[in-house]
Structure 1
Amino acid sequence: MPSRKVNFPVFDSDSHMYETREALTKYLPDHAKGTIRYVDIDGRTKIVVRDTISEFIPNPTFSVVAAPGAQEDYFRNGNPDGKSAREIMGKAMKSIPAFREPAARLEKMDELGVDYALLFPTLASLVEERLKDDPELTHDVIHALNEWMFEQWTFNYEDRIFATPVITLPIVDRAIEELHWCLERGARTVLVRPAPVPGFKGSRSFGFEEFDPFWQACVDAGIPVSMHASDSGYSEVLNIWEPASEYKPFAPTTGFRTAAMGSRAIEDAMTALTCHGTLSRVPDLKLLLIENGADWLPTLFRNLEQTYKKLPQLFLENPIEAFKRCVYVNPFWEDSYSDVVDLLGADHVLFGSDWPHPEGLQDPLSLIDSKLSGLSEEDIRKIMGGNMSKLLGIEAKVQVS
């Protein structure tokens, strides 16, 4: 049962599915068969991307997972006893239907007191980085995932669960084609990785003008674009300091990667979209920053302010004003929501529980008392659901009695 009841609709902007084993393989075109495989190593199943085993997600079948909210105490109070990752995760559990199927998920949402949810894939976070030297193949694999997602979840399940298809950007025309495919099937938002865009001639910023047709197509369709934390490729930078074959977020070998990685990916992504002009050339664009935290915002604003003061001729408008107009932020649940409200205004702050991930909240509604108690009732309503409902064009009402 939820920790409390509320008299307004709750919209969780950050919830997840655990994909089945066929999610990335069922709809692969013939020429791409074998790109994604699964192998058993010493009794454990691992995912193989183009003949390279990935450890990015330890159990890519999600048959056994950490319990929802298993790391709550870790993120709330730290780790004074120096526990291992396994000790922090606690006892694992077998995946339940609510992690895999929409009808069961709806029942679980009712139990948790959540009326609506934006649903993101989990396994998809590893795909683009491991295929970045083959743009055509990247588009093929992402489309296969979207076909599976639509079949398994739909993009709008009973006007309450909104699964979020992925758009990869290397070939802009294919990105726009994929966008229209998703829109025709009811998508209310799409997921774009906050990272440099790979291409045939190397990577580039998605803030460059060549991507404006995609961003404008999203505006014309009346949908926001979601940017959820992912593997944004920053292990290549960190490998200069501490060589490693692959970034393993669940098995850090030293404190360096945790400290150095920080919020660099999302901060750089938003710096690029602002300074390269997208937010000003496409002023009606709406971006939802999901599970990227918010403690990096003051640093970004300070850097933008100083740069604009020195080089105003390089901007079409004040970059901070552009950011505040276009961007909506879902802080980590352990962040200070009041600080983010002071910075952006309550209209641009979103609630997200990260359920059922272990770093999320076991009881999503507990956020109200733990982080929002100092805010006005109106601001709480906006953050807990009103803002998301408006962004997705939903006439929200309380579903859970």
Structure 2
Amino acid sequence: MATQAQVKPAASKPLYTGPIFDADAHFWETDEAWSAYLPEKVKADWGITFRKGPSGDFAMYVGPRKVEISADHLFEDGRVPAPGKLHEWLRAMKEGKAEIDLHVPKTPDMMEPEARLALMDRWDVRGSILFVGNMITAISYLDQPAAAYEVLNAYNHWLYDQWKFNYKDRLFAAPIVTLMDLEKACDQVRWCIKHGARLILMPMGPYNGKAPAHPDHDPFWAIVNEAGLRVVFHVSEAIYMKDHMAVWGEPVQQSRIRQTAFVWMHGYSERPVVETLSSFIFWNFFERFPNVKLLSAENGAEWVPAMLQKMDKCRGMAKNGYWPGGQLKERPSRIFARNVSVVAYPEDNIKAIIDQVGNADWILMGSDYPHAEGVEEPRIFAEEACKGVSDADTAKIMYENGMRFMGLTP
């Protein structure tokens, strides 16, 4: 007979036990990502390197410019923050144990597709969207069009070599596309489509003083629409906020440790994604390009109910006003429901969000693996975010909505 010390409580059944589609996962780049295709003529001023600078910090540099945020988490020995351990690290800091080391060596599944598929099989993840690694922090530094296309095109070439854009209809890597130059953007997206891209990652905000959905950009969107591409707006520094933050005396492109709550709230939070998505809807974009689907990734979802309510109200207020893309034929909230999906945070109150919006058909899960901010493995997302949510809606969030977003059969 077992003693009391030997008796272990039975493991509780997971809240969700079905298959998973992970709509927000990442990789870490190999060294070749930064040099394999980059032309020599731009390496000095725009090449991405990792080194110790005058301050002694090991950080990422775009040409001579230090990417301040990178010094918060990069190590010269290549270690990275442990997946899903951010909350544990913050708790240790609160308890006065800031010296705790939650950094780990990169593993093969973080850097190449077959190892990632093997990990996904263990987790019963049927498909996953893959976003960039350290490049996400450098995009806002690529503020000169000619150089930006050289750097991004070189990076996309490496991404295709390393991961493919569609790996066995299970891993969907997102090349980066920018509308800074219309002709080059058209060439860029054609190349992505030719190489099998099912979705693209674009920086949030306007381009050249115009909304991305402005008719001047229609030649680009016609290509995207014909291919039925998904377009993703992933959290990053939206560089168009730089000028707005400046009038408040709030600098951007700085270490997160020194970033103020004001910038977190207004410059690096929901505002860029709300402005970007609502702009597409108010410009009547989907009337012209119904095959394009948009996704917000790693911006959370708690802003959605207020955005939908406000868009519907403002449509009524502007009913007899100026509609540069043509008057909307139906409520913005209905247009959103057909054309936009959102990856929620695991800490979001998803039940409250569903109750306010009325359905869960647009919500996707994302593990953020292998980043520290997400969950250690995808199934934990349901445990954290789906308490009180119906079984049917949980299945939508964890699997069905993501599959449908990618045009796959659940």
SS in 1 for 2:69: coil
Paired residue type of 2:337: K
Paired residue type of 1:316: L
Alignment of 1:167-246 (within 5 A): 167-197=177-207, 199=208, 203-233=209-239, 234-244=241-251, 246=253
For the pair 1:69 / 2:84, whether they are aligned, the reply is: yes
Can you give the 5+ residue segments of structure 1 that lack an aligned partner in the other structure? 397-401
2:58 to 36, 45, 58: 45
SS in 2 for 1:116: strand
For the pair 1:276 / 2:283, whether they are aligned, the reply is: yes
Partners of 1:61 and 1:367 in 2: how far apart? 31
Partners of 1:191 and 1:253 in 2: how far apart? 25
Residue 286 of structure 1, CA deviation: 0.9
For the pair 1:321 / 2:334, whether they are aligned, the reply is: yes
Q: Given the two structures, how large is their TM-score scaled by the length of structure 1?
A: 0.86
CA-based RMSD of the aligned residues comes to 2.9
Alignment of 1:1-400 (within 5 A): 4=14, 8-34=18-44, 35-38=46-49, 39-41=51-53, 44-58=57-71, 59=74, 63-72=78-87, 82=94, 87=98, 90-132=101-143, 134-197=144-207, 199=208, 203-233=209-239, 234-244=241-251, 246-249=253-256, 251-261=257-267, 262-313=269-320, 314=323, 315-317=327-329, 318-342=331-355, 343=357, 345-395=359-409
Residue 129 of structure 1, CA deviation: 1.9
Instruction: Decide whether aligned partners of structure 1 residues 52 and 83 sit closer, same or farther in structure 2, where only a CA change above 3 A counts.
Output: farther
Residue 163 of structure 1, CA deviation: 1.2
Paired residue type of 1:232: A
SS in 2 for 1:287: strand
SS in 2 for 1:129: helix
SS in 2 for 1:117: strand
Do 1:167 and 1:191's aligned partners in 2 also have CA atoms closer than 8 Å? yes
Deviation per CA, 1:63-84, whole angstroms, max 9, x where unpaired? Answer: 111111112458xxx8697579
Can you give the 5+ residue segments of structure 2 that lack an aligned partner in the other structure? 1-10
Residue 123 of structure 1, CA deviation: 2.1
Partners of 2:77 and 2:234 in 1: how far apart? 20
Partners of 2:298 and 2:252 in 1: how far apart? 25
Paired residue type of 1:333: P
Residue 142 of structure 1, CA deviation: 0.9
Task: State the identity as a percent.
Answer: 28
Partners of 1:387 and 1:67 in 2: how far apart? 28
Partners of 1:296 and 1:163 in 2: how far apart? 26
Corresponding residue for 1:399?
none
Deviation per CA, 1:303-344, whole angstroms, max 9, x where unpaired? Answer: 312321211133323322222221111111111222333416
Paired residue type of 2:196: G
Larger CA deviation: 352-361 vs 385-394: 385-394
Paired residue type of 1:380: T
Computing the radius of gyration from Cα coordinates, the structure with the larger value is 2
Residue 62 of structure 1, CA deviation: 8.5
SS in 2 for 1:174: helix
Do 1:327 and 1:348's aligned partners in 2 also have CA atoms closer than 8 Å? yes
Partners of 1:294 and 1:19 in 2: how far apart? 28
SS in 1 for 2:32: coil
Deviation per CA, 1:142-179, whole angstroms, max 9, x where unpaired? Answer: 11110000111111223222111111111222222222
Residue 232 of structure 1, CA deviation: 0.6
Partners of 1:174 and 1:389 in 2: how far apart? 31
Instruction: Decide whether aligned partners of structure 1 residues 309 and 61 sit closer, same or farther in structure 2, where only a CA change above 3 A counts.
Output: farther
Paired residue type of 1:267: V
Instruction: Decide whether aligned partners of structure 1 residues 279 and 31 sit closer, same or farther in structure 2, where only a CA change above 3 A counts.
Output: same
Instruction: Decide whether aligned partners of structure 1 residues 311 and 89 sit closer, same or farther in structure 2, where only a CA change above 3 A counts.
Output: farther
Q: Given the two structures, how large is their TM-score scaled by the length of structure 2?
A: 0.84
SS in 2 for 1:87: coil
Aligned length: 386
